[in-house]
Amino acid sequence: MLSFVKNYMDSIAGIEIYPILSLLIFFGFFVILFWWVLTAKKDYIESVSNLPFEKDNHQNETTL
């Protein structure tokens, strides 16, 4: 089955650019994500990490 797919893909002109583009997009996404993690402010990360707990506390206060 793989040989069928390979022969079919070889017959399509200009298809060789798509694996390169997908690799560049994949690599670029993770480079940008890594850069964001390194440059994110500590207080923002702490406030976002506490959001699930704040929501639970808020729900518990309204039900009391």
Specify the pTM. Answer: 0.56
The per-residue pLDDT for range 15-63, each reduced to its tens digit, is: 889 889 999 999 999 999 999 999 999 998 888 888 888 765 555 555 5
- How far is 27 from 31, CA to CA, in rounded Å? 6
Q: What would you report as the CA-atom Rg of the chain, rounded to the nearest whole angstrom?
A: 24
Tokens of 4: 């069928």
Q: What does each C-alpha distance from 27 to 14, 18, 50, 54 come to in angstroms?
A: 22, 14, 30, 35
- How far is 32 from 48, CA to CA, in rounded Å? 19
Query: How confident is the model at residue 58, as a pLDDT?
Result: 56
| Spans of all domains in the chain | 2-63
